[in-house]
A and B are shown apart, each in its own frame.
Chain A
């Protein structure tokens, strides 16, 4: 089939874009899952959509392609462009504009055969299509909410949905198009708005989440319906996706590691699991789940012991995590850091120069990266998961070794001299 910059299926390009953006060090030969032709086509498409962000580098293994975006300088998520590349037929686009030209106001209501006649007359009969194609298109548009059908006796009348005035919402759509879930939908609305100055930029902005927008939208729809879903999930240790039946309970979005997880009740295993949205490839909405409210209540309760995305329905067997930090007299901002960054647990003052953080959590290992950010001032650790505590200590020993830190422990002063400033 001849190359086109438009695509029918988003799944394939989703995987390539992730590779180009997240990693970007693979050469053409390593994209072995698909044929070389497929790689060339996908690369060409991404270049057509995102040429400004595409970079190339030459290595011994060949030419590498990658995407590099400083998301702080972009007012609009560039990845949204991929969602605007759906292919269509010549008939699709012609019928689309003809139908809405004839149904130009909500008051105009026509039957299918009247619409056929009107289209013939509008396009001078040069455009051939059959009634069933138009009927199918109208059915599709009715599901999308842009066409309304109404029965009048035995006749079915078609009209356009009333317009909604969004002309005042330019800034709202710009802001939430980048910060709300499924922001790409805001971008679709923005495309219809008059050109305007963009007032917002965004920091700590993980644009790659845009690639999972359809999965997120389907899961939200299922949650609104309190329904079960069947998803195809490619676990980290699996070669191919497996089908799982779940009750989706909440999507957990990270602003620090770029990931989005679905927390769901796994019906077969009778427990909560978290699933990476970027590993889910297909969502089918099933029947309503009677236990939805009860399960969500349980998740709400579990959140008291969740640092990240690992939760359990039963609150037994939590792990205790405790560590002390020392602060100099002028380092109150460290206490503020503990307070604002903790997601559960508590901060206590031990004395003027020492503070303790403690929490009971489901999974100690989820907290380790955060605790490491206090390296330079940790004076005491006490994890009930001894293995985790020992690993933490072993890792720090390894870091001493990596950076050639000599053993010199005699100077145990309260003035850490670590951070010279707070993080903004």
Chain B
């Protein structure tokens, strides 16, 4: 259903090559560059040779198009069905856009057909007009490189004011929250949902602050492959930069890199695997796990 040459890197690259070839100033070098920028690393061995040799009869011997028009292809039904499904998602209202008329198209899926069952329940209110307005203003500021001044509730519930240049958004599927990536202030990111109101900053204050550099830390875990732990752990931590090695038949080491700001979350995630995962290094991380176990022992129940 999805795996079709219609969507292939080769078809897309050839379309770009033909389009470029309509320009009489385009050189063969330009066409080679289109291949290396749009297709795969070994595609240079196939695409241009096939066009030049006439195996794919789309360019003449002087690399000019045999076609009369720049190539285009309408959206497939699958693409339209996916777009229709997206148009029904409540988060789409964030974007101030007009969808094309897809009234005669059945969605590929609706919210009844799937469930993200373990995302947190205090996610952002994507239907709230104020939230949508703040998203759009920050979006505008990013596009135009303008600063924002915002009033927000910090994590202790205190109201504070912050000035920053928004640089992008980060969405967490687990938290179901959008964070604003910032520059020009000491914080690197801010939950969009914490902002009470914001506007473009027109003041002339100086911009002396910069976010602290991101700290990447390394962690080594030993996986004892009982109760399918190997697969569970490797899948669970799949989204990190990582490397695994086998120690013996049912012991494996997993080395991963994480952001220091996420350390508490990583501690909890490691704990969730119980005795199937043991922290090997660094000692400071081992200490965090031991601290919790010692506290647990003091609780008495187990």
Contact = CB atoms under 8 A, between A and B. Distances in A.
A370 B120 CA distance: 13
B75 A408 contact: no
A59 B299 CA distance: 44
Interface string A77-105: 00001011111101011101110110010
Interface stretch (A171-179, A227-235, A264-272, A313-321): A171-179
A340 B245 CA distance: 36
Contact of B68 (A122, A185, A214, A423): A122
Interface string A402-416: 111101110111001
B170 A202 contact: yes
A296 B113 CA distance: 10
Nearest to B177: A424
Given A25-B252, A97-B67, A392-B302, A163 B238 contact: no
Interface string B235-268: 1101111111110000010000101011011001
A206 B298 contact: no
The main secondary structure of chain A at its interface with chain B is: mixed
A200 interface: yes
B291 A90 contact: no
12 contacts: A122-B66, A145-B74, A145-B78, A166-B75, A180-B89, A223-B113, A253-B116, A253-B117, A343-B121, A369-B273, A424-B191, A424-B262
Interface stretch (B27-35, B38-46, B196-204): B38-46
Contacts of A206: 235, 238-239
Interface stretch (A149-157, A356-364, A374-382): A374-382
A10 interface: yes
B228 A236 contact: yes
A256 interface: yes
Counting from the closest, the 8 A-B pairs by CB-CB distance are A145-B77, A376-B292, A376-B295, A369-B272, A185-B82, A398-B275, A88-B5, A204-B174
B10 to A, nearest CB: 7
B121 A165 contact: no
| Interface band, chain A | 35 or more
Given A68-B242, A336-B122, A256 B236 contact: yes
Contacts of A31: none
Given A22-B231, A375-B296, A250 B114 contact: yes
B153 interface: no
Nearest to B119: A255
Interface string B1-17: 11111111111101100
B72 A100 contact: yes
Interface in B112-155: 112-122, 139, 142-143, 155
B265 A402 contact: no
B122 A205 contact: no
A295 interface: no
A185 B235 CA distance: 24
B8 A97 contact: no
B40 A85 contact: yes
A368 B171 CA distance: 27
Contacts of A68: 241-243
B2 A397 contact: no
B86 interface: yes
Contact of A259 (B73, B74, B106, B235): B235
A74 to B, nearest CB: 10
B172 interface: yes
A199 B57 contact: no
A48 B42 contact: yes
B67 A98 contact: yes
Interface string A389-406: 000110111111011110
A250 B115 contact: yes
B56 interface: yes
A275 interface: no
Contacts of B118: 254-257, 308, 343
A191 interface: yes
B62 to A, nearest CB: 14
Contact of A341 (B98, B120, B301): B120
B95 interface: yes
B89 A96 contact: no
B264 A182 contact: no
Nearest to B216: A70
B20 interface: no
A246 interface: no
B91 to A, nearest CB: 8
Given A6-B10, A201-B181, A375-B293, A83 B272 contact: no
B180 to A, nearest CB: 11
Contacts of B269: 373
Contacts of A355: none
Given A70-B257, A101-B67, A252 B3 contact: no
B24 interface: no
B9 A84 contact: yes
Contacts of A165: 100
Given A217-B108, A309-B117, 19 more contacts: A68-B243, A84-B12, A93-B56, A100-B72, A101-B69, A122-B67, A145-B77, A146-B6, A168-B98, A169-B83, A176-B92, A220-B108, A253-B116, A256-B236, A341-B120, A343-B117, A368-B274, A376-B296, A409-B297
Contacts of B234: 22-23
A185 B107 CA distance: 13
A380 to B, nearest CB: 5
Contact of B4 (A86, A100, A393): A86
A51 to B, nearest CB: 5
B159 to A, nearest CB: 18
A124 B252 CA distance: 63
Contact of B174 (A57, A92, A256): A256
A200 B169 contact: yes
Interface string A16-29: 00000111110000
Contacts of A405: 290, 293-294, 297
B293 A163 contact: no
B80 interface: yes
Given A23-B234, A185-B78, A81 B289 contact: no
